Amino acid sequence: MSTPRPLVIGHRGACGYRPEHTRAAYELAIDLGADAIEPDIVASRDGVLVLRHENEISGTTDVARHPEFADRRVTKTIDGGTLTGWFTEDFTWAELSTLRARERLPDLRPGAAAFDGAEPILRLSDLLDILDAGAERSGRPISIVAEVKHPSYFASIGIPLDRRVAEELRAWDDGDRIIVECFEQSLLGQVRERGVGGRYVYLLEAPDASRLTTEALIALGSGVDGSGVDGVSVDKAVLLDAGGPALVERAHDAGLSVFTWTLRPENAFLATRHRGAGSPAERGDWRAEFAELLATGVDGVFADHPDLAADARAAVGRET
Q: What is the C-alpha to C-alpha distance for residues 46 and 270, in angstroms, rounded to an integer?
A: 40
Query: Considering the domain boundaries, does residue 75 fall inside one?
Result: no
Q: Within a domain: residue 171?
A: yes
With respect to residue 63, please indicate whether it lies within any of the assigned structural domains. no
- The predicted structure's pLDDT at residue 211: 85
Note the pLDDT of residue 230: 96
Beta strand spans in the chain (E): 7-11, 36-38, 40-43, 49-51, 74-78, 81-85, 143-148, 178-182, 199-204, 231-235, 257-263, 300-303
**pLDDT tens-digit series, residues 235-290:** 999 999 989 999 999 999 999 999 999 999 999 999 999 999 999 999 999 999 99
Does 197 have pLDDT greater than 80?
Answer: yes
Mean pLDDT taken over the chain: 95
Residue 223 has pLDDT above 80, yes or no: no
Has residue 74 been placed in a domain?
Answer: no
Q: What is the pLDDT of residue 226?
A: 61
272 domain-assigned = yes
pLDDT digits (tens, 9 = 90+) for 78-121: 999 999 999 999 999 999 999 999 999 999 999 999 999 999 99
Q: In this structure, what CATH number is given to the domain that contains residue 307? A: 3.20.20.190
The answer to whether position 76 is within a domain reads no
Per-residue confidence (pLDDT) for residue 319, from 0 to 100: 44
251 is in which domain, residue-wise?
7-56+124-316
Domain count across the chain: 1
Judge whether 290 lies within some domain.
Answer: yes
Q: How confident is the model at residue 311 (pLDDT cuts 50, 70, 90)?
A: very high
Examine the pLDDT at 320 and tell me if it is beyond 60: no
The set of residues, in sequence order, having a beta carbon less than 8 Å from that of 80 and lying 6+ positions away, is: none
70 membership: H or E segment, kind and range: none
* Total-model pTM: 0.95
Residue 94, Cβ density class (10 Å: 0-12 exposed, 13-18 middle, ≥19 buried): exposed
Q: Helical H runs in 11-122?
A: 23-31, 93-96, 110-113
Residues composing the chain:
320
Beta-ladder partners of 182? 202
- Asked if pLDDT for residue 124 goes beyond 80, the answer is yes
| Within a domain: 249 | yes
